[in-house]
Each structure stands twice: as C-alpha cells, then as structure tokens.
Structure 1
Amino acid sequence: MKSTGVVRKIDELGRIVIPKELRRTLDINVKDPIEIFTSENKVILQKYQADMACMITGEILDDNQTFGNGNIVLSQEGMALLQEELEIKLGKKREEMLNAE
C-alpha cells in the first residue's frame, strides 16, 4: 500500500474528505459507491465495482459475458476493443518472427 502523505481529520459526523486530485486519479466521481473494508487496524476505501462490470469499459450491461471461469467480464464494446488491441499486438509478433527468419 502506497502512502499519499495526505492527512485528514474526521468531522463530528464521522466524515472525511477525499482530496480532489486523489479522486481524479482513482476515477471516483460524485455519487460513486465506495466499499469500506477493515484489515487488522486499517480502514480501506475502494471504489465499488459490480460483479458484472466490464473490465475494460466499466459498463454494467445485461449482455456482458464472462470468460476464464468467470474471472473476466467483458461488454460487447470491451470485447471489440480487446480484439482490436490483440490483433495489433499479435500482428507485431508475427512480423517480428518473420523478420527473424
């Protein structure tokens, strides 16, 4: 876990303010749900991600599909983006292999 060097006080209602730059970096927006975990003597805040959220686009749609025994969730758009990137990377690998011969 990386320290940000930011210290905040808890107000009388038990609230803390997460700095704007940190929210921007972690893509946390107004009204986003945040999960709260505890581990030993630590409180961990994490942006909530639904089980069926696409791992590439973040979309939560009824037609999202799972792969790899449920470990990978992709939307149609996410699959298209992944396919495009794989084709580019695999094309470069093929070129490298052909040039090496």
Structure 2
Amino acid sequence: MPSGRAELLKINLRELEIDPDVNLETIAEKIEGYSGADITNVCRDASMMAMRRRIEGLTPEQMRALSKSELQMPVTMMDFEQALKKISKSVSATDLEKYEKWMAEFGSS
C-alpha cells in the first residue's frame, strides 16, 4: 500500500525542505518492497544530492564560507530518482516469501 510508504517518507523528510515537484505517492510506488531502513537511506541520500548540487564547482574555501542556511537546498524529484538508482531494496521477494511461509506455519493466529 503506497500510503504507508508515503507516511514513512514524510517522517524521514519532516525536517527537510522539499521542492513542490516532489510527488511522494510516485516515490512510494517506486520503493515498494523497501524496508524502513532502505527508505531512510533513500531520503538521506536524496537530501545529500541537494547539498552536493549546492557545493558543486566550489573551492574548499568557498564551501567553508557558506552558512548552514545557504547549504539548505530543497530536495527535488531528480534527487530522489538519483538516490533510487544507487539504493536498492535490501529484502528480496524470496526473503518475503520465506517469511510469509514461516508466519503461516508458526506465526500467531
């Protein structure tokens, strides 16, 4: 269900500025099967993409001269797309199948 994943995204992104082009429902669909930790990693990486974009081409001195507020760039849909290319889900469909079989046999009813 994408809405649960969208809620996880909102929790992970609550302290970040998000560009209006970001569609959390679309991202939620793309992260189907991702664990909570995987989703956190995608959000963290997307936020780092925004900062990397801000400091690209600057000298170390110029980077040090930036204030914290100047480093705060909104996270864009492209940042998420790049993060999703780098971070894949850590739980496979086979793992989930094994878990479901185990729960069916031994889980509480």
TM-score, length of structure 2 as denominator length: 0.24
Which structure has more relative contact order (CA 8 Å, sep 6+)? It is 2
Q: Greater helix share, 1 or 2? A: 2
